[in-house]
Amino acid sequence: MFFRCLARFRASRRLAALFVSVDFNLRESVDEEILSCITRRNNFTSYVFVGAALLCLGITNSARAEDAVFHEAESKYMFGFVDGADIGNEGEKAIEFETTGAFQKRDGRYSAVEQELEFEHVPTQYFAYELSAHAMAHSISGVEGLDDINQTAFSGASAKLRYLIIGRGPGSPIGLTISAEPEWSRIDGTDGTQTQDYSSDFRIVADTELIPNRLYAAFNVSYVPETAKGAGDPNWQNSSGLGLSTALAYRITPTVAAGAALEYDRAYDGLAFQTFGGHALYLGPTLQINFSPKMLLAAAFMAQVAGHAADDPRALDLTNFSQYRANLKFEVEF
């Protein structure tokens, strides 16, 4: 009995040493040792060690396969209303259909939906541009401070210029991009009236990978000067906006990423923040689906959760901002 127990103990120790020191490049020899041991020691202890070893090998192989599947992803549209630092690959061209909606004011019924048709080109690895045509649809009824209107019209054009300062990669954990988006509008985006409006969204964009190829984070700072005058009005009105936003996105599968975004906006009269008009804090989910390497759909929704207008004690700023925002973008590369 003593020698039988000793033999079992030695066999168990031998198996444990094999599985602790195993090199995955020697998997076939490990398998042979496992089968040999089962043949020689048909007992409960051997089966336990064999099962544990197979489980460890399976988990390791699964993790390696998962790492291989989750290759590098482009972050440009991954964060919804928050930009990612990636600008695309050199030579890339794409057509985009983007819909952005603003919904709900203080009272009544309010919706302002903008449709953009965009052409995007990345002529160099550091520079990308977009050219867009815009249409606006307004449906306003019974809203405090706004006239009732129900119309759809061509509203203007814009361009977006992106310059990549630091590309995120093995040598740099952070990507950094600056962008400018000048826009001309003939329809006021808030009330739908005719106007002459010139604005530009200047933005600093940074992002990083918190977990390689799986969890991403982005941060934006934006400054939006604007000058406009209504039809028949000889005077130009200047305003400006300041925005801070951040977002997280997690790749659930290699082709689907979901996350959340937080955005804080402030509105001012004057091009240099002269008079405070109000502020709003938005929070909401984001989603990106890559149908193929050249086709994607990105969606985002935000709700105003805090804020107020100047000289208005009521919760939320529904004078300068809407209560809800939504964005849907469909891109096809060619």
Report whether CATH 3.30.70.250 matches the domain 93-333. no
Q: What integer best gives the mean pLDDT of the chain?
A: 86
204-224 average pLDDT score? 97
Q: Is the pLDDT of residue 318 over 60?
A: yes
Q: What local confidence, expressed as pLDDT, does residue 20 receive?
A: 36
Q: Is the pLDDT of residue 275 over 90?
A: yes
Name the band, by pLDDT with cuts 50, 70 and 90, for residue 193.
very high
Query: Could you identify the residue written with the tokens 């989750």?
Result: 70
241-259 average pLDDT score? 97
Side chain identity, residue 229: K
Quick: pLDDT tens for 33-42.
Answer: 444 544 444 4
Long-range contacts of 159-163 (CB under 8 A, 24+ apart): 159/129, 159/130, 159/131, 159/132, 160/129, 160/130, 160/132, 161/127, 161/128, 161/129, 162/87, 162/127, 162/128, 162/129, 163/126, 163/127
Q: Is the pLDDT of residue 57 over 90?
A: no
Q: What local confidence, expressed as pLDDT, does residue 35 receive?
A: 43
Q: Is the pLDDT of residue 247 over 90?
A: yes
Q: Is the pLDDT of residue 4 over 60?
A: no
Q: What local confidence, expressed as pLDDT, does residue 315 receive?
A: 94
Q: What local confidence, expressed as pLDDT, does residue 70 receive?
A: 82
By mean pLDDT, which of 169-173, 203-207, 236-240 is the weakest? 169-173
Name the band, by pLDDT with cuts 50, 70 and 90, for residue 13.
very low
By mean pLDDT, which of 60-69, 90-99, 129-138 is the weakest? 60-69
Torsion of CA 313, 314, 320, 326, to 10 degrees: 150
Q: What local confidence, expressed as pLDDT, does residue 133 receive?
A: 98
Of all residues in the chain, the percent with pLDDT exceeding 70 is 80
Taking a C-beta distance cutoff of 8 angstroms, is the pair 105, 327 a contact? no
Query: Could you identify the residue written with the tokens 């130009």?
Result: 236
Q: What local confidence, expressed as pLDDT, does residue 159 receive?
A: 98
Quick: pLDDT tens for 109-155.
Answer: 999 999 999 999 999 999 999 999 999 999 999 999 999 999 999 99
Triad 229, 141, 192: Cα angle to 5° = 25
pTM: 0.79
Q: Is the pLDDT of residue 18 over 50?
A: no
Q: Is the pLDDT of residue 332 over 60?
A: yes
184-205 average pLDDT score? 97
Look up residue 210 and give its two tokens: 């918190």
The domain locations on the chain are 2-69, 93-333
